[in-house]
Amino acid sequence: MSAIQPSLQQQVQSLYSEHHGWLVGWLRKKLSCPHGAADVAQDTFVRIIASRDALFGMREPRAYLSTTAKRLLLDRARRQVLERSYLAELALLADSLPGAPSPDEILMAVQALEQIAAALAGLSAKARAAFLLHYLEEQPQAAVAAQLDVSTRMVQKYLVQALLACRHACPGMAA
């Protein structure tokens, strides 16, 4: 096993040293923010390292890095949309309710949303889409089924998968 570990370490070191600067530059053009670019570049390498199999047989490292980074950017954008939506709802509620939520309550809600977003990221694209269409866009299951080109029963299965993933990701939901 010790012979495998140095090889992996060498591959990671080589990948990082040869492509990190390029990836940060590429992300800086996309984000117009050097700090955000550095964060996403770091997350990209962490994700690739975590999936060790990706390092073996990688033919086009820059294509792989850019694809991974694009997916992380999409995840980041989705999370930001959730946060903005939540904060907009809070602003509306703050006007109509006698007491606004405390900073701790806001933090807990944002963390719960991040946990839900992470749980949804682990689902298939159709299961994630079914959840978002049904619960966020309030579409009936039949409309979701038509949009995803699946049966209503399959939409129900997707919704169960999504809810179970959310419950697993958010232990506080079990109560």
Each domain of the chain, given as residue ranges in start order, spans 8-96, 103-169
List Cβ neighbours of 89 (8 Å cut-off, separation of 6 or more). none
**Structure token pair of residue 74:** 């999409």
Q: What distance in Å separates the CA atoms of residue 28 and residue 65, rounded to the nearest whole number? A: 14
Q: Do the beta carbons of residue 131 and residue 116 sit within 8 Å?
A: no
Question: What class, spelled out in words, does domain 103-169 have in CATH?
Answer: mainly alpha
How many beta carbons lie within 10 A of that of residue 127, not counting itself? 21
Does residue 142 surpass a pLDDT of 50? yes
Closest-CA residue to 37 (of 18, 60, 65, 11): 65
User: Quick check: 2 pLDDT over 80?
Assistant: no
Look at phi and psi of residue 56 and say left if phi exceeds 0, alpha if psi is from -120 to 50, else beta.
Answer: beta
What pLDDT, on the 0 to 100 scale, is given for residue 48? 84
The model's pTM is 0.51
Band (pLDDT 50/70/90 cuts) for residue 109 is confident
CB 28 within 8 A of CB 37: yes
Q: Give the integer Cα–Cα distance in Å for 160 and 24.
A: 39
